Amino acid sequence: MDLQSLYQEIILDHYRAPHHAGLREPYEAEVHHVNPTCGDEVTLRVHVADGVVEDVSYAAEGCSISQASTSVLTDLVIGKKVDDAMEIHDSFMELMQSRGKVEPDEDVLEDGIAFAGVAKFPARIKCALLGWMAWKDATAKAVSESEVRHDS
Amino acid sequence: MDLQSLYQEIILDHYRAPHHAGLREPYEAEVHHVNPTCGDEVTLRVHVADGVVEDVSYAAEGCSISQASTSVLTDLVIGKKVDDAMEIHDSFMELMQSRGKVEPDEDVLEDGIAFAGVAKFPARIKCALLGWMAWKDATAKAVSESEVRHDS
Amino acid sequence: MTMQSTAPSGLLDTDRIRGDFPILARRLDGDRPLVYLDSANTSQKPRQVIDAMTAHYEQANSNVGRAVHQLGDAATQAYEVARVKIAAFINAPDSSEVIFTKNSTEALNLVANTLCWAQGQYSVGAGDEVVISEMEHHSNIVPWQLLTERTGASLRWFGLTDEGRLDMSHIDELINERTKVVSLVWVSNMLGTVNPLETIIRRAHEVGALVVVDASQAVPQLPVDVAALGADLIAFTGHKMVGPTGIGVLWGRTEILDALPPFLGGGSMIETVTMQGSTWAPLPAKFEAGTPPIVEAIGLAAAVDYLSAIGMDRVAQHEHAITAYALDRLREVDGLTILGPTEAVDRGGAVSFEIDGVHPHDVSQVLDSLGVAVRAGHHCAKPAHARFGVQSSTRASFYLYTTPLEIDALVEGIEQTKRFFKVRS
Amino acid sequence: MTMQSTAPSGLLDTDRIRGDFPILARRLDGDRPLVYLDSANTSQKPRQVIDAMTAHYEQANSNVGRAVHQLGDAATQAYEVARVKIAAFINAPDSSEVIFTKNSTEALNLVANTLCWAQGQYSVGAGDEVVISEMEHHSNIVPWQLLTERTGASLRWFGLTDEGRLDMSHIDELINERTKVVSLVWVSNMLGTVNPLETIIRRAHEVGALVVVDASQAVPQLPVDVAALGADLIAFTGHKMVGPTGIGVLWGRTEILDALPPFLGGGSMIETVTMQGSTWAPLPAKFEAGTPPIVEAIGLAAAVDYLSAIGMDRVAQHEHAITAYALDRLREVDGLTILGPTEAVDRGGAVSFEIDGVHPHDVSQVLDSLGVAVRAGHHCAKPAHARFGVQSSTRASFYLYTTPLEIDALVEGIEQTKRFFKVRS
Ligand SMILES: Cc1ncc(COP(=O)(O)O)c(C=O)c1O
Ligand SMILES: Cc1ncc(COP(=O)(O)O)c(C=O)c1O
């Protein structure tokens, strides 16, 4: 197995100095996700306002791949419209499930393209997805939360 | 497999015309035994008086081997002292567990020696033992019953 | 042996198929060829299944879902691919609805046991009813007896007609507003009956009952489409479908499996564990505590590949043809009474019968001396035997490798049995 | 790779032994030899075990305990001989006390689940206590959480010392007149600790508590004599002792197993079944519902033969020697912290550790790229990890085929990992 294709420099950089780390206020939803097989955990908060992801903050324990992937996630979605951010999420999912057969689009995924190599390591895909799944879950909650508020 | 060594004429004779069949009075103990793997059943009564097996009566449903073996049992134990009958029981058990390697003693087992061949058919050993196990169980009950009565 | 009737049509190319099953070339005592007519008890295994397991042990053995290393990856992939294949084989909407168990019995107990602790919609308690039938295998009776005794619910059952079919005449009273679960066998392992599940499932769902199907004899013999069937949970077992021992399957709808509490607790079924309490992993892991039967799942996947390559419709056709032929031949035998439907209509490939004057043990013993392997006993269906006033029976059962010549050998053997025990005919 | 320290004494002839394990000759990616240091997760299987199962499928496959025919006899004999061999391996007084399950997890759940419904002496209810420890595998935690939650009993546990041993200081308070069950691991799969069972069993029996031992890591590594041990029930699993997946064992004293209600209901475990109610077969059948893992039991018997031919005292000696060597080498590594006893005293062959600044997933990934297979994660022992303030660890574990050169490869690989992640040392 080619370690370099898994541990791209971009990934190691994010791992050593993760972006947007820490838990911040305000937020509409907070979730806690666990990878049952290895125990990696993330607590993640989402702040959505007017259909825009205003902030994503988190406290995570996990391997280089899960840490870096959460860091990249925050770069990609903060400041985006929720719909656009969901599309980025979908592209990332697709890349991870492609077994290395999809050419990632750098315009969409930016640093996220470094995870193309991870898709060839089935045991690590869950690591790369931990933060993304948590974000999707939290964002869905935050949005339905705000809809409820709007409705009432 | 040598069918003749399993189905000795003596066995088939007992099967076609079982001795001492039917349920009779008096009796001190009645048991119901089942062979869980095939469903064969026997209800068996023992009448013991003054340490002697006065009667063994039974109603059985089962294959030729189990029917014949119960019939032979009654021939062997009725009229014997309980202790002597238990010794016959033990000889029969030994024969059945011998995988055909023990030479049966005709003086002790009489028609029972015909079951030497059964010991080579592991699936049929339980058939041959059904009546004997029931008898041992019932006799033990009858004896402890009478001891209780004597004690009181 | 000579073929006594015209060869039935619809048979598979058994010469080719038999070449895949090493055991079928075996000689028994007295150098007799094996005539294996006990497939409802357990089926034989083709080389493809045996080899898949050997290859895994020799090349990829590792525990699953836990290790990052290459062997761990290989084993996990193989195990999860097995799940996907089995899901496809029964047309399950989602492979995570396929739970690996050790056999059908465990799958059925899993359902009955978790219902014992279920809350809300699926809870079972005093006043509730569970419906089974008199033709069930013990594995679909005892779990429900335990459940109803323990919860105070009542156990009720379909009776049987003289032909060995479900007595449907009281269905609307039997399955009523109090019914929480209906658990029924699809194809009886003793009578051979194929039950009218569609009608029963419709009625059960009308009253909001869960439908559990014991498909232990159905999945090996029929094309199964759980999406079309409409049942809520089904159980089947690997060893009856050319797969290995030690593996069974529970399929259930996601929303039901999600709502049930866990069954066995331990490794792999948890999300998190603290000394104070634990939470559960999502499906299917939630119901697969401990190291699963990994190599057995891989063997079962090879079995499913084997059956699919032939085509389950062709397997069903063969089963039907050979069963029709067997019923024709057995009906000719004097002193032989078939228990269950005597025509090959809605009927699986197991035929139980009695021979006047000869106990089933003795019948099967004589047959065995001729190399013909059948089963004698109650076939784990004592109540069905009691229904027909017998304690046990002899059963011949067929599968994709069974030939008309083997049926002829059976009939021949039965005649010889009668002669041996001097039964006149 | 070169051997860094003096070769330990007491090792087995691993050249010969490795020749028996086909997978150990496998090359991994990059044509690297496999260095399998994950035997506490699952062991590899020798040719003798694989061949025994293949031979059975090809020559004797049949269901057990039900058929009169020659194959049925052969299969039943093989299955029951397996039970006798396994009973002898652990010195069980009676082979009917050996119950085949699908793994350790099922064996432990069997006990916890039946205790839930037990009456009389063994009943568990409000006010009663069950004692486990903080170093248990999830499979010996969750079943007791379910039992105590469902019955209203309380779950209590031994804490751990900083060295990873049971904190015995409060044993007399912890195990008291209210204690109904004490269930403890013999050899920890994470910390490697061998627990002082004798003292604990004595205390538990003083207060009349049942003692259950999770021997999943003990039976593979140590000579086990259940008669001498004095525990009431023990659980272990085939795949960790060079046997197949899909099989485990519960051993228990006859009087206890007799007193417990049945676990799974179904075929083979019954004495008689009517629609109105059922009665149970004697041991061991009572706890073996449905078609058992037949071929897996035969494989486990071959595994036991294999281990016995070497001698479990020799296996234990090898395990000790290789573990001592590994501990010596690992203690030298800068930035490496061993979780659990750091000396090879009362210690099994699993060593979990942390590397400063590198997550276990990443450690095992780099090691895997060098062909070294270790496990990263919580090893199904989250509470033990929590006790040491970590979430996961890397674990290397050894068995009768492990060589000092493989330990050297591990240490070499750890150094390379540190370089890769630029951890200074
Ligand atoms: C100490 C211990 N207990 C229980 C188990 C569970 O064994 P299994 O997964 O085979 O059920 C294991 C292995 O994973 C173990 O190491
Ligand atoms: C109809 C039916 N149900 C359940 C079972 C139980 O299957 P298993 O013994 O594999 O658990 C069988 C087979 O014995 C069966 O034929």
Domains in chain D with CATH codes = 14-46+311-424 (3.90.1150.10), 49-309 (3.40.640.10)
Integer angstrom CA distances of residue D89 from D86, D95, D236: 5, 10, 12
For the cut 60, the answer to whether the pLDDT of residue D425 exceeds it is no
| Out of A1, A12, A41, closest to residue D369 by CB | A1
* First and final C-alpha spacing in chain B: 55
Angle in degrees, 0-180, between the axes of helices D47-59 and D294-310, rounded to the nearest 10: 150
Give the distance from CA D79 to its chain's centroid: 22
Set of chain A residues whose Cβ sits within 8 Å of the Cβ of D38: none
Q: Who's near B31: CB < 8 A, 6+ residues apart? A: B43, B44, B134, B137, B138, B141
pLDDT of residue A152: 52
Longest CA span, chain D:
73
Closest CA to C321 of C47, C2, C12: C12
Going by the DSSP 8-state scheme, the letter that residue A18 receives in this structure is: -
pLDDT at D65 over 90: no
What pLDDT sits at residue D419?
Answer: 95
User: What is the tens place of the pLDDT at every residue in D248-304?
Assistant: 999 999 999 999 999 999 999 999 999 999 999 999 999 999 999 999 999 999 999
> Is there a contact between C408 and C1 (Cβ–Cβ < 8 Å)?
yes
Q: Which of C316, C311, C304, C309 is CA-nearest to residue C84?
A: C304
Q: What percent of chain D has pLDDT over 70?
A: 98
Ligand in nearest proximity to the CA of D109 = 1
- Rounded to the nearest angstrom, the distance between the alpha carbon of C371 and the centre of ligand 1 is 43
Task: Kindly state the average pLDDT of the residues D231-241.
Answer: 98
- The answer to whether C421 contacts B12, with C-beta atoms less than 8 Å apart, is yes
- Report how far residue D95's alpha carbon sits from residue B29's, in angstroms, rounded to the nearest whole number: 31
Which pLDDT does position B146 carry in this prediction?
Answer: 76
> Under a CB-based contact definition with an 8 Å cutoff, are residues B135 and B57 in contact?
no
Q: Which helix (H) or strand (E) holds C79?
A: helix C70-89
D189 CA distance to ligand 1 middle (Å): 8
Helix (H, G, I), strand (E, B) or coil at C381: coil
Q: Which pLDDT does position A149 carry in this prediction?
A: 66
* pLDDT (tens digit per residue) in C152-198: 999 999 999 999 999 999 999 999 999 999 999 999 999 999 999 99
Asked if C72 and A34 come within 8 Å (Cβ–Cβ), the reply is: no
| Closest by CA position to C47, among listed C22, C72, C70 | C22
Give the catalytic positions of D in this structure: 380
Q: What is each CA distance from B69 to A37, B16, B35, in whole angstroms?
A: 59, 12, 14
pLDDT of the residue at A39: 81
Using pLDDT thresholds of 50, 70 and 90, give the confidence band for residue D5: low
CB D41 within 8 A of CB C66: yes
> What pLDDT, on the 0 to 100 scale, is given for residue D1?
43
Find chains touching chain D: ≥3 CB pairs under 8 Å. A, B, C
* HEC per residue, chain B: CCHHHHCCHHHHHHHHCCCCEECCCCCCEEEEEECCCCCCEEEEEEEEECCEEEEEEEEEECCHHHHHHHHHHHHHHCCCEHHHHHHHHHHHHHHHCCCCCCCCCHHHHHHHHHHHHHHHCHHHHHHHHHHHHHHHHHHHHHHHHHHHHHHC
Opening angle at CA D296, ends D295 and D300, nearest 5:
120
Q: Which residue out of D237, D245, D395, D397 has the highest number of ligand 1 atoms within 8 Å of its CB and is therefore the one to mutate?
A: D237
In chain A, the DSSP E strands lie at 29-34, 41-49, 52-61
Counting CB pairs under 8 A, whether chains C and D reach 3 or more, is yes
Helix/strand/coil for C135: coil
Nearest C-alpha of chain D: how many angstroms from B78? 29
What does R_g of chain D's alpha carbons equal in angstroms? 22
pLDDT tens digits along C343-397? 999 999 999 999 999 999 999 999 999 999 999 999 999 999 999 999 999 999 9
Q: What pLDDT sits at residue A65? A: 96
Which percentage of chain C shows pLDDT scores above 70? 98
- Interfacial residues of C (vs A; Cβ cutoff 8 Å): 65-68, 70, 72-73, 76-77, 268, 270-272, 281, 285
pLDDT, greater one: C68 or B14: B14
Do the strands C233-237 and C248-252 form a parallel or antiparallel pair, or are they unpaired? antiparallel
Residue D83, judged by CB atoms within 10 A of its CB (0-12, 13-18, 19+), counts as: buried
Question: Nearest-CA residue of chain A relative to D363?
Answer: A63
The pLDDT-based confidence of C65 (bands split at 50, 70, 90) is confident
The predicted structure's pLDDT at residue C1:
43
Structure-block tokens of residue A46 = 């989402």
Note the pTM of the prediction, 2 decimals. Answer: 0.96
Order of strands, sheet of C98-101, starting from the edge strand that comes earlier in the sequence: C98-101, C248-252, C233-237, C210-214, C179-185, C129-133, C154-158
Cα(D353)–Cα(C422) distance, integer angstroms: 76
Q: Is D380 in the pocket of ligand 1 (CB under 6 A)?
A: yes
On whether ipTM exceeds 0.85, the answer is yes
**How many A from CA of D243 to the centre of ligand 1?**
14
Contacts of C29 in chain B (CB under 8 A): 1
Interface of D with A (CB under 8 A): 29-30, 359-362, 365-366, 368-369, 376-378, 382, 385, 391-392, 420-421
> What is the average pLDDT value for chain C, to the nearest integer?
96
Q: Is B69 on the interface with C (CB under 8 A)?
A: no
A148 touches chain C (CB under 8 A): no
pLDDT in tens, D296-319: 999 999 999 999 999 999 999 999
Taking alpha carbons only, the member of C40, C56, B51 closest to residue D23 is C56
The pLDDT of residue B149 is 66
Residue C2 has pLDDT above 50, yes or no: no
* Pocket perturbation via mutation, ligand 1, pick of D216, D241, D395 by most ligand atoms within 8 A of CB: D216
Amino acid at position C333, single letter: V
Each residue of C283-342: pLDDT tens digit?
A: 999 999 999 999 999 999 999 999 999 999 999 999 999 999 999 999 999 999 999 999
